[in-house]
Amino acid sequence: RRIAEADSVAVIGLGRFGSSLALELMAGGTEVLGIDADEEIVQALNGELTQVVRADSTKSEVLKQLAVDEFDRVVVAIGSDITASILTCSVLLGMKIPVIWAKAVTEQHAVILEQLGVHHVIRPEAEMGRRVAHLVRGAALDYIEIEKGYAIVKTAPPARLHGVPLGQTALRKELGVTVAAFKRPGEEWRNADAETVLGPGDTVLIVGPTRKAEGFAQLR
């Protein structure tokens, strides 16, 4: 059965990263074609993905046979074998796949994939390491840098914000951040507005330049 429909993704390389990504796509209702050269890995994921195939992704005939060229989105999650990653990406680019995501294990690997023209190059270890650094530092409960220099931080609001409507706090002017949303204990997340009054047990989502958002999280 061919599964190259609109909401489907081909994931090449089903190691720790690729399999986790493929299973999460499946859980969200996306059809996934998984490809890996390792028979054991293919066996283990059989039945968990829409289709799992053992194949060498560096060969364009093989990818064509699997109808990978009909997919709009392909993820190359081959990491440690940099040669296989580069060759696979080159084949996919030749097939004019509209959106290719690829994982890189080193900075040089990432540079090469970008030079080839891969649309989205990700470095999971480097990115996760940076993110966890902000969590380890303490104040942030969660942290996502949207792009270099701009972040979303989940934190507790400092005492000076308690009991005052956000509109009266000059938060944006003085601290350079915006409270995007808040959550009271036991309640759902809600969008914040000028009338929102925060209290001691609340959690907030702060949006702003990374330095400022982080600075905010460190206020007590």
Which residues lie near ligand ADP (CB under 6 A)? 12-18, 35-38, 41, 56-58, 77-81, 84
Name the residue nearer to ligand ADP (CB basis): 58 or 196. 58
- Helix (H) / strand (E) element for 155: namely strand 150-155
How many whole angstroms separate alpha carbon 114 and alpha carbon 116? 5
Pick 15 or 215: Cβ nearer ligand ADP? 15
CA 70 to chain centre: 24
Contact in structure between 155 and 217 (CB atoms under 8 Å): yes
CB of 169 to ligand ADP, least distance (A): 45
The CB-of-18 to ligand ADP minimum distance in angstroms stands at 6
Which CB sits closer to ligand ADP, 120 or 137? 120
Nearer to ligand ADP, 106 or 191 (CB): 106
Min separation Cβ 34 and ligand ADP, Å: 10
Instruction: Give the residue closest to ligand ADP by C-beta.
Output: 15
Q: 3-state SS of 163-200?
A: CCEHHHCCHHHHHCCEEEEEECCCCCEEECCCCCEECC
Instruction: Give me the least distance between CB of 117 and ligand ADP, in Å please.
Output: 20
**DSSP H helical ranges for the chain:** 16-27, 39-45, 60-65, 82-94, 107-116, 124-136, 171-175, 210-218
Run of H or E including 54:
strand 51-54
Q: Cβ 97 to ligand ADP, closest distance in Å?
A: 16
> Residue 149, class by beta-carbon neighbours within 10 Å (0-12 exposed, 13-18 middle, 19+ buried)?
exposed
Nearer to ligand ADP, 84 or 139 (CB): 84
